Structure 1
Amino acid sequence: MTATTEDDILRSARSLLVGGGYNGFSYADVAASVGIRKASIHYYFPTKVDLVSRLVARYREEAAAGFAELTTHHPDPLDQLRAYVGFWSACIADGTNTFCLCALLATQLPVLPEAVVAEVRAYFEMLSTWLRAVLESGSARGDFILDDTAEAEAEKFMAAVHGAMLSARAYGDPRVFDLVTEPLLAGLTARP
């Protein structure tokens, strides 16, 4: 698929958001990055709220497609979680995608416009639902020992993965992500 100007704008905005947060970029920054005029951005996204809301909605859509693919290609629940964590580990290590866009935006909820907040919350609900289903499946198969309900364990797992991203960023060391997530995965598996 050929990238469109809209795709280029969204890609630039995502990079700028992850690098500096919601208030850390402007349309001028996006225009310079993409090589277009600010007026061209306004054609696709009249306001910054429109731009970031669409970006988060697309991010959620891509994540949902990724979870569906993980579920299809990895029928084993532990393999699904390993693949999810492995995706982030690889991205953090190679610098292509060092932080979850929605986790970053969640840290800024008090200052975000309501339309963006709604999209961020929708992402977290979608991720939590997927994790809960994976954990329920693994528990039903006897592969996982859960200390709490699958819903509570999903929230803990999500918080640990996002916290590992934050720690890796804070230390400037991608290995920190694995230091947190490897025991997280090991702690789920049933012991003989």
Structure 2
Amino acid sequence: MNTELSARASEIAACARALLVRGGYNGFSYADISTAVQISKASVHHHFPSKAELVRTVVARYREEARAGLDALSRQVPDPLARLQAYTGYWASCMHDDSSSFCICAMLASELSTVPREVADEVRGHFLDLTAWLASVLASGAAQGRFVLHSSPESEAMGFVATVHGAMLSARAYGDPEAFTAVVQPLLRRLAAP
């Protein structure tokens, strides 16, 4: 999917992304974007004829960013445990500075039965991308004697994803960014070989 956008379309997509973090797919309308970006609803429709197209574009761009970030971590951080710490540290920082306190794909996954299929497909794609990356980090760490895995790298990766996203939810529910770290740190300690 081509995710190149004009300056105005990028502004609309950025606004939609922020609204998705706050309230998910069903938590905003084109009227909200129109007000925030200060353009008419017709102009929003000009750039994105449907909400499904807008959100699919936002999620596709999010996936590109996530894949690039994970690839950069793989290149720049050779130690598997440090790589996982950098990944969770990214989210901890986002929680503290409120820059992106929730993964939009995790938010959308909670609404999967009510979002359009093209959006759901992008969300599932993100989870598959993330799980594959984590499984490769976990397998590498186990091969190096850095991790003790209690099941397959793929199963451990799915558990890791669930824990990280659950930690985001906990931080939001408690209104405390430290809750994220409190949930994630025991997972990292459990994985680390003695």
Do they fold alike, i.e. is TM over 0.5? Answer: yes
Secondary structure in structure 1 of the residue aligned to 2:168: helix
- Structure 1 runs, 4 residues or longer, greater than 2 Å off: none
- 1:140 equivalent in structure 2: 143
- 1:99 equivalent in structure 2: 102
- 1:121 equivalent in structure 2: 124
Tell me the amino acid that sits aligned with residue 163 of structure 1: G
Q: Distance in 2 between matches of 1:9 and 1:75?
A: 37
Q: Extract unaligned runs of 5+ from structure 1.
A: none
Contact 2:20 2:104 in 1 (8 A): yes
- How far the C-alpha of 1:23 sits from its partner, in A, is 1.3
Percent of residue pairs identical: 52
Secondary structure in structure 1 of the residue aligned to 2:129: helix
Indicate whether 1:187 and 2:186 are aligned. no
Q: Distance in 1 between matches of 2:137 and 2:69?
A: 14
Indicate whether 1:110 and 2:108 are aligned. no
Tell me the amino acid that sits aligned with residue 33 of structure 1: A
- 2:156 equivalent in structure 1: 153
Residues paired across the two proteins, number: 189
- How far the C-alpha of 1:87 sits from its partner, in A, is 0.3
- How far the C-alpha of 1:10 sits from its partner, in A, is 0.8
- 2:21 equivalent in structure 1: 18
Tell me the amino acid that sits aligned with residue 43 of structure 1: H
- 1:37 equivalent in structure 2: 40
Q: Distance in 1 between matches of 2:89 and 2:30?
A: 34
Indicate whether 1:164 and 2:167 are aligned. yes
- How far the C-alpha of 1:42 sits from its partner, in A, is 1.4
- 2:3 equivalent in structure 1: none
- 1:84 equivalent in structure 2: 87
CA RMSD of aligned residues (A): 0.9
Tell me the amino acid that sits aligned with residue 134 of structure 2: L
Contact 2:24 2:104 in 1 (8 A): no
- The 10-residue stretch of structure 1 (95-104 or 18-27) with the greater mean CA deviation from structure 2: 18-27
- How far the C-alpha of 1:7 sits from its partner, in A, is 1.3
- 2:59 equivalent in structure 1: 56
Tell me the amino acid that sits aligned with residue 17 of structure 2: R
- How far the C-alpha of 1:44 sits from its partner, in A, is 1.6
Q: TM (normalized to structure 1)?
A: 0.96
